[in-house]
Structure 1
Amino acid sequence: MGRTNPTYRNAIRAIESEWKPMRRALRREHQSDFDRLFDRARGFADAAGYANPPGPERALVLSLLLAHEAELRRLREECACRCGSDRGPTDGDRTRGDESE
């Protein structure tokens, strides 16, 4: 008994191929940004494939959001280290469980 949906990695490949005309129309400096988006989405392929969503586009967007969130966290930590800040998380860093505080 196999899966009825194509694998997430194959879906990303198909979506990227579908958007190749847009990539070609981008300025050269933005083409590498376009490629990096798909590289970041592939970085979460194991988790997205495990979820086996019927619409791979939604998993792609969520993977990109997750990659961006991880990058923001890394940059915040780097900024805090450079500034010597001991401050805790800002309001933007709250999780759902913290809303009751």
Structure 2
Amino acid sequence: MGRTNPTYRNFLESYESDWAPFRRALRRQYRGDFDRLFERAAEHAAAAGVQNPPDPTESLLLSLLVAHEAELRRLRERVESLESAAEPAPASAPETDRT
């Protein structure tokens, strides 16, 4: 049996086209951010395609949340590595003369 819903990738392309006027109305500095959202949503197309919900908007939103969570994790790891690299080595206890 074939699927009755369009593929997630087709949905995503159509959805992005529907929002093209919104993108054009954005300030230039935000247009790249808008484009990256759809790039990130496309990164999870395989998982969204497996889910194949009647309304793929939920898959789009969950894909974006997963992408944002992954970005937060990478940033947290980077901050932690920078913090640990900046921490001074623990000072050794001064030796006492036991004579």
Structure 1 Cα separation of the partners of residues 51 and 61 of structure 2: 14
- Runs of 4+ residues over 4 Å off in structure 1: none
> What is the root-mean-square deviation of aligned Cα atoms in Å?
1.0
Structure 1: runs of 5 or more not aligned: 86-101
Instruction: Tell me the equivalent position of 1:39.
Output: 39
What is the letter of the counterpart of residue 81 of structure 1? S
Relative to structure 2, which stretch is displaced further, 76-85 or 27-36? 76-85
Instruction: Tell me the equivalent position of 1:79.
Output: 79
**Structure with the greater alpha carbon radius of gyration:** 2
Instruction: Tell me the equivalent position of 2:89.
Output: none
Structure 2 Cα separation of the partners of residues 57 and 20 of structure 1: 16
What is the letter of the counterpart of residue 71 of structure 1? E
Structure 2: runs of 5 or more not aligned: 86-99
Please tell me whether residue 30 in structure 1 is matched to residue 30 in structure 2: yes
| TM-score (normalised: structure 2) | 0.84
Spell out, residue by residue over 1:5-51, the C-alpha distance to the aligned partner (whole angstroms, 9 max, x if none): 10000000011000000000001111110000000000000000011
Instruction: Tell me the equivalent position of 1:69.
Output: 69
Count of aligned pairs between the two proteins = 85
| TM-score (normalised: structure 1) | 0.82
Identity percentage of aligned residues: 61
